Amino acid sequence: TLAETASFTLDACGVEVSVDVQRRADPGQGGISLVLDDAVIKPTMTVDKARPLTPGVEETYTFTIELEQMGDLDPDADPPEATLEAVYVVLPGGFSWQTTSYVPNSSKVSTDGGLTWTPVPRPALESGIGGNRVRVRWPEDHVPANPPDFPPPDPEDPEYAQYTGPTGVFSSDPGDALHYFQDIETFQVAREKHYLEFQVRENLTTNPSAQCSWVVLRPWGTVSGPQATILTGGAPEETGCQKDGMIGVTKVAAPDIIQPGIDTPIKYTISITNTQASGTLHVDKMTDYLPPGFNWLGGAEDSLGEGFASASTEGTISWIYDPDPASSEVRINHPDDPVVEGRDTIAWLISPPPGINAGETATLVFWALASRDVSGAYHNEVTILPQEGEALPQGFTSPEITTNEQLYTSYSWETGTVMVPSYDSEASADGMTIDANLIYFRGVWITSYQVK
C-alpha cells in the first residue's frame, strides 16, 4: 500500500545486504493527456547522415518519418479514430527542385513498429513550392480540401459552399494500388507507431548551415517542427535551423524528477524560435496546458517568478511575465480558451505583440506547483499563435497544406516532462549504501541510483 515499507536481507556472494523499499506512488498511471484533439499523431523525422560524407558531391539521404499515436483511442470506433489522409515533407532550403531527385523504389512503410517493411508507391516531388523549395507528398496525387480546414465548415456556415473534400487520400483497399500504404493511415491503440521511409539525392552546399526538414500531416495540418538536421560546411552542432519553416517551440521543466506526495514548485521555461530565413514574427498569444494535478503559481517575483520585460541581448529576447502589464493580459481557465477538466489553462495575450527576428529565440519563464501521488511522466503542452495576417513561410503554400492558425499554433508535443517515481529503495552492505528511485513509464521501469 502507499507509503508502506518492505524490508528484507539477501546474501550476495557471502555479503549480507539489507534492503528497504517504500512505495511512494501508484505505479504507471500518470502519462500522456493531450488537450488538442487535432494533434493526436506526432510526426518526427530522422536522416541517416548528420553531415555530407563528401562535401560538394551528390549523395543519397535516407529519411525516416515516425508517426506516433499520442491520444487515447476508442478501439470500437467505426470508422477507426485517427485516420491519416496524407503526409507531406518540406525539405530543407539546400534541396532544390532543380537538382533534387527521388531514388526510385525507395519508399517503404512499417506498421508494426519497424519490425517489417513493405514497399509502397512513390511520392510526388512538388517543384517550385516557395521559390526553389522541394515538397514531398504521399499519396502522389493528393490534393487538400479547399479551404484546408478540418473538420469542414458547418453546413450552416456561409463558407461551407466553398468547401471541397480532399482527393487522393490513403486507402485501406489493397486493390487501390496508388493509395494503399499497408494501413499506415489507421491507428487503433494509443502509442502505436508507424514508419515511412524514402530516399532523395542532392549535392548540398559547402557553406556552413543547418538544413532541417518539416513534416505536415493532413487533414489536421499537424506540424513536426524542424527535424532531421544535416550540418554542412563544418557548421558546429549548435547551429540553428534557418530557411526551414516557422516557429519552433520547446519547453524545459526544472526539476524534472519530483518526489510523490510533496508539493514542489516547478520552473517552466518556454523557448520560441523564429526559424525563417528573414522577417519578424509577432507573437499574439501563448497558451499553456499544465499536466493534471499541476497548478499555476505565476510569474511575478512574489510567486517565485521574474518580472515581465522585453530585451534583446546577443540575438536573444527574454519575456518574463509581469502581474499587471499595461497592455497585456494573463488569464487562467478562461472560457474563451480550451479548458480541460483537471488541468490549468494559462493564456498570455500580449499587446502590442513582441517580435522575434529570423533566427532569434524568445523565452518565457513561469512557475507551477506539482503534487502527485501517481507515478509516471507528466507532460506539458504549449501553443503559440502569431499576429493575424502574417504570411505562411515558403514550402507550406501553393497549395496550402495547412492554415495560418494550424501552422502557427506551434505544438510543443511532450516537452517539459516531469517524472514522478513509484518506489524508493535503499540497499546497504559493508558500509556502502545505494539509494534508488524507480519510475514506471510507457511500460518500462526506469531506475536512478545514488551511491554513498
- One domain, residues 87 and 233: yes
- One domain, residues 227 and 352: no
The count of domains in the chain is 2
Q: Are 182 and 109 in contact (CB under 8 A)?
A: yes
C-alpha cell at 77: 470506433
Smallest CA-to-CA distance from 91 within 47, 59, 56 is with: 47
The yes-or-no verdict on residue 74 having pLDDT over 90 is no
61, part of any domain: yes
- One domain, residues 216 and 320: no
CATH number for the domain harbouring residue 216: 2.60.40
Separation CA 389–CA 411 (nearest Å) = 19
Separation CA 401–CA 442 (nearest Å) = 32
Question: Mean pLDDT throughout 247-276?
Answer: 82
Question: Mean pLDDT throughout 111-140?
Answer: 88
- One domain, residues 86 and 226: yes
The yes-or-no verdict on residue 321 having pLDDT over 60 is no
Query: Which residue would you say has higher pLDDT here, 405 or 32?
Result: 405
The yes-or-no verdict on residue 116 having pLDDT over 90 is yes
What DSSP element (H or E) covers 407? helix 404-408
- One domain, residues 338 and 392: yes
> pLDDT value at position 317?
46
The SS3 assignment for 452 reads: coil
Q: What is the pLDDT of residues 83-94, one digit of tens each?
A: 789 999 999 888
- One domain, residues 238 and 314: no
pLDDT band at 108 (very low <50, low <70, confident <90, very high): very high
Query: Which residue would you say has higher pLDDT here, 440 or 44?
Result: 44
360, part of any domain: yes
Question: Mean pLDDT throughout 144-165?
Answer: 66
276, part of any domain: yes
Q: What is the pLDDT of residues 208-257, one digit of tens each?
A: 888 989 898 888 778 887 889 999 998 888 777 765 556 778 888 988 88
447, part of any domain: no
- One domain, residues 172 and 81: yes
- Residue 153 DSSP label: P
> pLDDT value at position 391?
64
> pLDDT value at position 51?
92
Bridge partners, 6 (sequence order):
21
- One domain, residues 285 and 398: yes
The yes-or-no verdict on residue 346 having pLDDT over 90 is no
Poorest-pLDDT segment among 53-57, 287-291, 348-352: 348-352
246 Cα distance to chain centroid = 14
- One domain, residues 366 and 416: yes
- One domain, residues 172 and 302: no
7, part of any domain: no
Query: Which residue would you say has higher pLDDT here, 24 or 7?
Result: 7
Query: Which residue would you say has higher pLDDT here, 141 or 38?
Result: 141
- The C-alpha cell 487522393 sits at 168
C-alpha cell at 210: 543547418
Smallest CA-to-CA distance from 200 within 42, 59, 30, 379 is with: 59
24, part of any domain: no
The SS3 assignment for 213 reads: strand
Q: What is the pLDDT of residues 183-219, one digit of tens each?
A: 999 887 777 899 999 999 999 988 888 898 989 888 8
What DSSP element (H or E) covers 355? strand 355-357
Poorest-pLDDT segment among 60-64, 84-88, 230-234, 281-285: 281-285
The yes-or-no verdict on residue 125 having pLDDT over 80 is yes
Poorest-pLDDT segment among 86-100, 190-204, 273-287, 317-331: 317-331
What percent of the chain has a predicted confidence (pLDDT) above 70? 67
Last residue of a domain, one of 216, 243, 270: 243
- One domain, residues 264 and 222: no
> pLDDT value at position 150?
52
3, part of any domain: no
Please report how many Cα atoms fall inside a 13 Å half-sphere around the Cα of residue 16, on the Cβ side: 3
Phi first, then psi: what are they for 98, rounded to 5°?
-80, -25
Smallest CA-to-CA distance from 106 within 92, 117, 96, 114 is with: 117
Phi first, then psi: what are they for 159, rounded to 5°?
-80, -5
CATH number for the domain harbouring residue 380: 2.60.40.1510
Last residue of a domain, one of 184, 218, 243: 243
- One domain, residues 56 and 122: yes
Residue 225 structural domain:
38-243
192, part of any domain: yes
C-alpha cell at 435: 539509494
The yes-or-no verdict on residue 75 having pLDDT over 60 is no
> pLDDT value at position 176?
95
Last residue of a domain, one of 243, 259, 274: 243
- Geometric angle at alpha carbon 369, from 363 and 374, rounded to 5°: 115
> pLDDT value at position 315?
39
